[in-house]
Structure 1
Amino acid sequence: MCFLIVLLSTIFATVVADPLYTACSTEYGNYDLGSPFEKNLKVVVETLPSISSSTGFNNTASGIFPDNVSGQALCRGDVTSSACQTCLREASQKLLKECKSKDATIWYEACQIRYSFQNLTSLNVYAGKYPVLESEKKSVSDTVHFYDYVKLLMDNLSIDAALNHSKLMFATGEIKFSSNETIYGHAQCTRDIREDECQECLSFALLDLKGCCSSKQGGIIVSGSCNLRFELYKYYNASSHLIASPTPKGRGNWKMVAIIVSITTISVLTIVIGSSIFCLRRKRRNYRDMERNHLALLNELAISRGITLTEEGQLVSSEDLPFMDLNTIIAATDNFADSNKLGQGGFGTVYKVSYKGASR
């Protein structure tokens, strides 16, 4: 029972805490008290909590030009409908009290309300804000590697939020930074913008997040159409999913890359070496086969002519004809000298030889 009271108190405190940021635009001037614009404004901001709590998002409008007012409400994707309504009611009252301008937005941790004399569904101009309290957060020791992890997480969440309409353009996730530190984050867009507009808005927000909070243990960027946040604690209630993407540079991913490259290199070398050995063996086998076929042919011819062959295929003797080796012939013809040349026959040049002192 005590635990339930503490839990409800924590949730209630988060929902009705002070606003993160209030932007009362002075660019278009203020409205007059008691004017038709103020009456339409009250209708819009008082209607938004009830019509938006069940879905977490809605647009509404009241009045005609030049006193028309457009309004928009958005709750964080993980809060309940009752918590959403409580947050929006607090935001609407605070906005009416603090802003007298014709264009204003207020952001809480769990919700935001925006109104303007312009049509909000046609406004896609990014104007990100970050609360002052973000600059007061503690710094991390490893600033370079830490933000690599933050960016990896936010890039994945931004894509998930923009492309997955089943999640109502809201995504949460986490990534392990060290053995005892996990980074949690979320990305969200209003549901009246396109996928590409959502991604563009979140990319601008990520740049602002780097500028304000890259070395901090947490950070948040809010705007009219999208918002980003990360912390070293789980601040949202939705069931999160671990971003199973490659580890950012400077960490264990290089070890994994080295292992993969090594395995790939060894595999390629094994294939190349194996193929080379196979080809060489095949060449040698073909050569041996040709050599054996050649010797077989010589043996066949030699037997039919009564010729004796050595194992190497050299002619030794014949029953019909005497044989001389090449060295003997060279000596007998005086190395085929022109003076011993007798003429040209059908089988080649004919030489005179001297054999054992006798000319032939």
Structure 2
Amino acid sequence: MGYWKLLFFAFHILTSFHGLCNGQPDFRAHVCGDNGTTSMYESNKNTLLSSVAPNIGRNGFYNSSVGQNSDRVNAIALCRGDVELDICRSCVNDSTHKLVQLCPNYHGAIGWYDKCMLRFSNYTIFHQLDIGPERSLFSLNNVSDSDVPQFNQALRLMLDRLREKAKSGDSLRKFASERTSGPAFQTIYALSQCTPDLSDIQCYDCLDGAAKAIPYCCNGRQGGRVLRPSCNLRFETERFYNETPATPQPPPGKDSSTTRTVIIIVVPIVISVILIIMFICIFQRKRKHRKPTAKIETMDEISSIETLRYDFGAIRIATDNFSDSNQLGQGGFGVVYKGTLPNGKEIAVKRLSRDSGQGEQEFKNEVLLVVKLQHKNLVRLLGFSLEGTEKLLVYEFMPNASLDHFLFVVIWHQNMQCMVNSQLSQMSLALVY
């Protein structure tokens, strides 16, 4: 009797262990950052990480922050581009528990599953190209020695195509998958993906570096992957991703009555739509002569404002964390600091008061307006930076003298008060140092 009890107990232990192993079967790698966090940082981290999985959208990407200053926590979650939403959220939820367990009291960590990646840090990680820490994995199965050159050639060309496709994605998804024929009747499957907050160039550079790591980690292997915080790629000789099913074609020779019915229905609809479009075009043409065309914001203007954006972390470093020794002065709308960019260029940074009540889009519109209204007697605006409630304006540093005299002379003698609204005046006059 005791023998059977012992056997049952052993079986229970084995099945429990098997369940634990299968709960998170595809956790591939993780890296912990610096440890030694405060209780406030840990509280912010737990609050942030618990909100990531429920809030991740159908594009499989989510980023958010909680806290202020040194207790601020930033997080990014990215699911593989072919994964359904429920599987994506489940994977991110597993990652949350896994990282908290593996990296307790750490300022940052990153973990990779087969279907998702989760990352948190006390540094700014949004819109940043991060190529490290990097991890590579490879298959235990080898390509035949005689087939390696042909296999590598087919793989390299496919990864080049995938890099172009992925970087050409939009702000919701930068993902591409493909298959190609290899040697010895093999099929090679591969995918490439970037976090969609990257620019096209950043995505291209990240995937290009990852592809160059393949010969060092995975040469002659039937599968491999390179994992980076901002991008990842993978290849296998067996399909590992979900392919979108092709639209089924109707079988040939089916009765023509269905086709005839479709034509009878579709043709009148198409003709009606064409007539409506023609009527609208004629109406708009007549209306244009009577009514001035409204000015709308173009995509070029939207793009130009983003080119003026500075990284908040870079400005923080340039001003020595907004130290008092770098303070140039203080006005009614904030403090001005002197800073030095990595290329040696000196700048003046206006740190606007947080209680201004101004929204992000309104702030960007005003920046764009100030840039367009540059004047030889006005200090030159170089750009701006946004981070949470922080709003910074970056100006060209004028070491010799204040520009107050020139500003007031221009506005008073040229009677420009009617052309400068109160908000623009706030930004131009209050920022003179």
TM normalised by structure 2 equals 0.49
SS of the residue corresponding to residue 44 of structure 2 reads helix
Shift of 1:119: 1.2
Residue identity opposite 1:30 in structure 2: G
Shift of 1:130: 3.1
Task: Report the Cα distance in structure 2 between the residues aligned to 1:77 and 1:167, rounded to whole angstroms.
Answer: 10
SS of the residue corresponding to residue 205 of structure 1 reads helix
Task: Report the Cα distance in structure 1 between the residues aligned to 2:245 and 2:72, rounded to whole angstroms.
Answer: 41
Alignment counterpart, residue 235 of structure 2, candidates 201, 225, 230: 230
Structure 2 equivalent of residue 328 of structure 1: none
Structure 1 equivalent of residue 64 of structure 2: 60
Shift of 1:166: 8.5
SS of the residue corresponding to residue 23 of structure 1 reads strand
Alignment of 1:175 onto 2:183: no
Structure 2 equivalent of residue 23 of structure 1: 31
Task: Report the Cα distance in structure 2 between the residues aligned to 1:218 and 1:162, rounded to whole angstroms.
Answer: 23
Shift of 1:125: 2.9
Alignment counterpart, residue 193 of structure 1, candidates 184, 195, 198: 198
Retained in 2: the 8 A contact 1:174–1:240?
A: no
Alignment of 1:89 onto 2:112: no
Task: Report the Cα distance in structure 2 between the residues aligned to 1:154 and 1:109, rounded to whole angstroms.
Answer: 19
Retained in 1: the 8 A contact 2:167–2:200?
A: yes
Task: Report the Cα distance in structure 2 between the residues aligned to 1:178 and 1:138, rounded to whole angstroms.
Answer: 13
Shift of 1:30: 3.1
Structure 2 equivalent of residue 214 of structure 1: 219
SS of the residue corresponding to residue 143 of structure 1 reads helix
Structure 1 equivalent of residue 119 of structure 2: 114
SS of the residue corresponding to residue 66 of structure 1 reads helix
Which has the bigger relative contact order, CA under 8 A and spacing at least 6? 1
Structure 1 equivalent of residue 53 of structure 2: 49
Structure 1 equivalent of residue 338 of structure 2: none
- Tell me the alpha carbon deviations over residues 176-196 of structure 1, each in whole angstroms, 9 at most, x when there is no partner: 113521000000000111000
Q: Percent identity?
A: 29
Q: How does 1:1-360 map to 2 (within 5 A)?
A: 16-25=24-33, 28-32=34-38, 35-100=39-104, 101-127=106-132, 129-132=134-137, 134=138, 136-141=140-145, 142-165=147-170, 168-178=173-183, 180-239=185-244
Retained in 1: the 8 A contact 2:139–2:223?
A: no
Task: Report the Cα distance in structure 2 between the residues aligned to 1:179 and 1:208, rounded to whole angstroms.
Answer: 25
Task: Report the Cα distance in structure 2 between the residues aligned to 1:125 and 1:80, rounded to whole angstroms.
Answer: 26
Q: 1:153 to 1:236 in 2, by over 3 A?
A: same
SS of the residue corresponding to residue 60 of structure 1 reads strand
Task: Report the Cα distance in structure 2 between the residues aligned to 1:163 and 1:122, rounded to whole angstroms.
Answer: 16
- Tell me the alpha carbon deviations over residues 47-99 of structure 1, each in whole angstroms, 9 at most, x when there is no partner: 11111143300101101111110000000000000000110000010000001
Shift of 1:167: 7.9
Runs (4 or more) in structure 1 with deviation over 6 Å come to none
SS of the residue corresponding to residue 165 of structure 1 reads coil
Shift of 1:104: 0.8
Retained in 2: the 8 A contact 1:140–1:146?
A: no
Q: 1:131 to 1:30 in 2, by over 3 A?
A: farther
SS of the residue corresponding to residue 68 of structure 2 reads coil
Retained in 1: the 8 A contact 2:213–2:226?
A: yes
Paired residues in the alignment total 224
Structure 2 equivalent of residue 266 of structure 1: none
Gaps of 5+ in 1: 1-12, 242-360
Residue identity opposite 1:236 in structure 2: Y
Task: Report the Cα distance in structure 2 between the residues aligned to 1:18 and 1:102, rounded to whole angstroms.
Answer: 25
Retained in 1: the 8 A contact 2:158–2:180?
A: yes
Give the RMSD, CA atoms, in angstroms.
2.2
SS of the residue corresponding to residue 30 of structure 2 reads strand
Task: Report the Cα distance in structure 1 between the residues aligned to 2:239 and 2:206, rounded to whole angstroms.
Answer: 24
SS of the residue corresponding to residue 69 of structure 2 reads coil
Shift of 1:168: 1.6
Task: Report the Cα distance in structure 2 between the residues aligned to 1:96 and 1:137, rounded to whole angstroms.
Answer: 33
Task: Report the Cα distance in structure 2 between the residues aligned to 1:14 and 1:156, rounded to whole angstroms.
Answer: 35
Task: Report the Cα distance in structure 2 between the residues aligned to 1:150 and 1:98, rounded to whole angstroms.
Answer: 35
Shift of 1:29: 3.4
Retained in 2: the 8 A contact 1:15–1:86?
A: no
Task: Report the Cα distance in structure 2 between the residues aligned to 1:181 and 1:77, rounded to whole angstroms.
Answer: 24
Q: 1:200 to 1:15 in 2, by over 3 A?
A: farther
Q: 1:14 to 1:192 in 2, by over 3 A?
A: farther
